[in-house]
Chain A
Amino acid sequence: MKHDIYSTEGLYRIVEKADLSPTISRHVIYAPLIAAKAKAGHFVILRCRPGGERVPVTLVDWSPDNGTVTVIIQAIGKSTSEMNSLKTGESFSDVAGPLGTPVEIKKYGTVLGVGGGVGIAELYPIARAFKEAGNQVVSILGARSKDLLILEKEMASLGRVIVTTDDGSAGKKGLVTDAMKELYSAGEKLDSIFTIGPIIMMKFVAEASRPHGTPTFASLNPIMLDGTGMCGGCRVEIAGKPKFACVDGPMFDAHQTNFDQLMKRAAAYRQQEKDSLEQYGRAHDCRIGLH
């Protein structure tokens, strides 16, 4: 079916919503222009409703034929909680994109994907594109516990998967970097590494691969506002120079990334975010993130 990419008819409607865990949901959204142009590594900016925050989320999947894009959202704050409370048939007020610079897909040989938490969802299309380009794909998937582990089956369809959890409820108990070290000590030949997940995890993935000289790329997730290169809020330091994650990235050379600065900047609004979520939680009798 051919979709009019310039039409606003039915735009941003949730065609299908599924809960993958109590806090993680998959949304399939009607957005034909984005679906027609999307590539691995692209992201979109979502707004739940007028007055809502602009939330950047990397695309997990897209179908030009159906005119839809797929995102997976973990409820960690007020905005993401509100998004996950939307139902099939309801609409986001805004989906902007595709934004960012897609990942350069080429033949490396063996590509290791390291995904943490909901970052696994964002790793999936990239790993798939590398597989389609003739690479061998190995994945390390990390999660706090079994019920927060997502897309294991989908990742397994692309190649070997190693699972680690903090509490040992699935796969090996430990960190993704423990699994990386095991691969290196087993003499595994890794030609490049792509990692998406919490900043602290990506930092240690970069440190684990640095001594081996494996080209390593991390998808950075700084606080972002417009997503179009206008505000500079998402600036990150790459090789000592400021870059805008929204237009230059979000994927950057992890060995050249100043993760410590990224972590400090990501905490800029922690107090406000906490207050906002608590207020929302009180109003909606919801306990997300309030342990």
Chain B
Amino acid sequence: MENKPKKPTPSIKQNLGRHQDPALRRSNFDEVALGFGLEEAVTEAARCLGCKTKPCELACPVNIKIPEFVDLVYKEDIGAAASKIFETSLFPAICGRVCPQETYCEAACVLKDKFGPVSIGRLERFTADHARKGGLVTPPPCAPDTGKKVACVGSGPTSLAVAAELRKLGHAVTVFEALHEFGGVLSYGIPTFRLPREVVRFEVDMLRRMGVRFLKNVMIGKSITIEELKKDFDIIYIGSGAGLPSPMNAPGEDLVGVYSSNEFLTRVNLMEAYKFPVSDTPYYVGKKTVVVGGGNTAMDSARCAMRLGPESVTLLYRRTRAEMPARAEEVENAMEEGIKFEFLTAPVELEGDEQGRLRRVKCIRMALGEPDASGRRKPVPQKGSEFYIEADSLVVAIGQSPNPVIQQTTPGLTANKWGCITAEERTGKTALDGVYAGGDVVRGGATVLLAMKDGKAAAMAIHEKLSGKAE
């Protein structure tokens, strides 16, 4: 780049990235956030002070060598920057898009208060995309084969992290996926306008190039049990996620047009129903869609629904905007796209017609009362405030818990009252020898990054055990 700014120049205005125009993007499934070009990336990288204490790196759940890779971006050696990230994480194109950097590295950036943090997440994404498109990606080397065999259950972020780390250390890794696409929630849950599928496929494929074996269409616990797997593998890592939808338990939830967020997102994302009838899986939104919930899944559901062309999408949340668990950026994106938010509102009953199809939603207004166990103020229904919203379809996005099949079919494995497998936090060790677990199957519905963090930690513990170093 010509006339490159000197590094460090922290006073350069932070680049928050460009977005697809809301009026356009609300009717397509193309990526919303547009990536940096080389010039933008180098300029943003020039802002980094390269702190010796590396507060950003310490705040990163997967310990990406942030000051070093940012410096390599500044030097325009993008292949080397990608390799630097690969030293601790093989999934920069995924993490660069779905990690809430504002709560990790960017929150720790010393420039945050005075100038705004370095846009680390956008630089990570740029590095991954630029390296991928330019053919600059070299998979990291793997140690000689150890002869030890590890099975990962599920192919979501936590299993991918385990597979990456253990393969690098020379172990033979097989990843089992129940569905026909790899990536778990990265494939069935997160919409393509936040995470394009070619990105997921590329990073999965890199593991394949390193020798990780991927088997689809095998549902552990049904197709084959953990006990049976133990005969063929030295270690089992359970990373089967939180795939069980929580129902509202409101009357009328079985009406046609009422979806769990899991079903709705799986139809739209995994099955590409938005291309129907070019793809074969149908969807139904009708003229008016209602989404219930305040988390990222609710935002994803509402934004997917909007792109399917109904007249309106209304989101009901029983608290206020301040209590929403969704990322602020996602809430803003959703609002820009024309999704109507009804705060302090909860559905109490769903009403249908004679064909059993949803027609309207009876709602009640809430007020915030005393703080509850979660520390958030508890929503209290306001008597006499009931009202109706017309709806042809409704998506319930109020939470997920682990699918119970593995717990039910594996004697000796223990779970808590929410159905989460109990595992040691630092190592992922479960009650069964040689069986580890992490990610959402242990945490309940958490995040991609915490799932990857669990995977990396478990991989270290598994490697110690396989090398005979464990107690």
Question: Residues of A at under 8 Å CB distance from B?
Answer: 5-6, 8, 33-34, 37, 45, 47, 51-54, 78-79, 93-100, 225-233, 235, 237, 242, 247, 261, 264-265, 267-269, 272-273, 275-276, 279
**Could you list 20 examples of A-B contacts with CB < 8 Å?**
A6-B213, A33-B224, A45-B217, A51-B275, A53-B271, A95-B217, A97-B219, A97-B223, A225-B266, A226-B179, A228-B179, A228-B219, A228-B243, A229-B244, A231-B263, A264-B356, A268-B256, A275-B277, A276-B282, A279-B277
Contacts of A272 in B (CB 8 A): 276-277, 282, 284
Of chain B, the residue at the smallest CB distance from A263 is B356
Of chain A, the residue at the smallest CB distance from B249 is A242
The 10 tightest CB contacts between A and B, nearest first, are: A264-B356, A231-B263, A96-B217, A272-B282, A53-B280, A230-B243, A94-B180, A268-B256, A232-B260, A269-B282
- How many angstroms from the CA of A237 to the CA of B251 in the assembled complex? 13
Could you tell me if A96 and B280 are in contact, using CB atoms closer than 8 angstroms? no
Within B390-410, which residues are at the interface with A (CB < 8 Å)? 403-405
Task: Assess A265 versus B356: contact at CB under 8 Å? Given A54-B271, A247-B222, A276-B280.
Answer: yes
Contacts of B58 in A (CB 8 A): none
Contacts of B355 in A (CB 8 A): 264, 267
Could you tell me if B174 and A6 are in contact, using CB atoms closer than 8 angstroms? yes
Contacts of A273 in B (CB 8 A): 282
B254: which of A8, A47, A227, A261 is its contact (CB, 8 Å)? A261
Contacts of A228 in B (CB 8 A): 178-179, 219, 222, 243, 403, 405
Of chain A, the residue at the smallest CB distance from B179 is A226
Contacts of A229 in B (CB 8 A): 243-244, 403-405
B37 within 8 A of partner (CB): no
Could you tell me if B279 and A98 are in contact, using CB atoms closer than 8 angstroms? no
- How many angstroms from the CA of A100 to the CA of B179 in the assembled complex? 15
Could you tell me if B277 and A276 are in contact, using CB atoms closer than 8 angstroms? yes
Could you tell me if A98 and B276 are in contact, using CB atoms closer than 8 angstroms? no
- How many angstroms from the CA of A242 to the CA of B282 in the assembled complex? 23
B54 within 8 A of partner (CB): no
A33 vs chain B, min Cβ distance (A): 6
B92 vs chain A, min Cβ distance (A): 27
- How many angstroms from the CA of A126 to the CA of B243 in the assembled complex? 30
Contacts of A269 in B (CB 8 A): 282, 284
Could you tell me if A233 and B254 are in contact, using CB atoms closer than 8 angstroms? no
Mask, B162-196, CB within 8 Å of A = 1, is: 00000000000010001110000000100000000
Of chain B, the residue at the smallest CB distance from A82 is B280
- How many angstroms from the CA of A97 to the CA of B222 in the assembled complex? 7
Task: Assess A6 versus B215: contact at CB under 8 Å? Given A228-B403, A272-B282.
Answer: yes
Of chain A, the residue at the smallest CB distance from B228 is A37
Contacts of B276 in A (CB 8 A): 272, 276
Could you tell me if B215 and A226 are in contact, using CB atoms closer than 8 angstroms? no
Contacts of A78 in B (CB 8 A): 280
Could you tell me if A37 and B224 are in contact, using CB atoms closer than 8 angstroms? yes
Task: Assess A98 versus B222: contact at CB under 8 Å? Given A228-B179, A230-B243, A232-B260.
Answer: yes
Could you tell me if A96 and B180 are in contact, using CB atoms closer than 8 angstroms? yes
Contacts of A45 in B (CB 8 A): 217
A96: which of B219, B254, B267, B279 is its contact (CB, 8 Å)? B219
B232 within 8 A of partner (CB): yes
Given contacts A37-B223, A96-B217, A229-B403, 5 further A-B contacts (CB under 8 A): A51-B278, A52-B280, A93-B180, A94-B216, A235-B254
Could you tell me if A51 and B260 are in contact, using CB atoms closer than 8 angstroms? no
Within B221-263, which residues are at the interface with A (CB < 8 Å)? 222-224, 232, 243-245, 247, 254, 256-257, 259-260, 262-263
A238 vs chain B, min Cβ distance (A): 12
Contacts of B405 in A (CB 8 A): 228-229, 247
Within B401-433, which residues are at the interface with A (CB < 8 Å)? 403-405
A148 vs chain B, min Cβ distance (A): 25
B218 within 8 A of partner (CB): yes
B281 within 8 A of partner (CB): yes
Contacts of B188 in A (CB 8 A): 226, 230
Of chain A, the residue at the smallest CB distance from B174 is A6
Could you tell me if A96 and B218 are in contact, using CB atoms closer than 8 angstroms? yes
A87 vs chain B, min Cβ distance (A): 20
A173 vs chain B, min Cβ distance (A): 32
Of chain B, the residue at the smallest CB distance from A244 is B244
Could you tell me if B280 and A51 are in contact, using CB atoms closer than 8 angstroms? yes
Could you tell me if B215 and A8 are in contact, using CB atoms closer than 8 angstroms? yes
- Chain B CB count within 10 A is highest, among A45, A98, A268, A273, for A268
- How many angstroms from the CA of A264 to the CA of B247 in the assembled complex? 20
Could you tell me if B356 and A99 are in contact, using CB atoms closer than 8 angstroms? no
B266 vs chain A, min Cβ distance (A): 5
Contacts of B218 in A (CB 8 A): 33, 96
Contacts of A51 in B (CB 8 A): 272, 275, 278-280
Contacts of B282 in A (CB 8 A): 269, 272-273, 276
Contacts of A276 in B (CB 8 A): 276-277, 280, 282
Task: Assess A6 versus B232: contact at CB under 8 Å? Given A94-B180, A99-B223.
Answer: yes
- Chain A CB count within 10 A is highest, among B222, B244, B276, for B222
Contacts of B404 in A (CB 8 A): 229
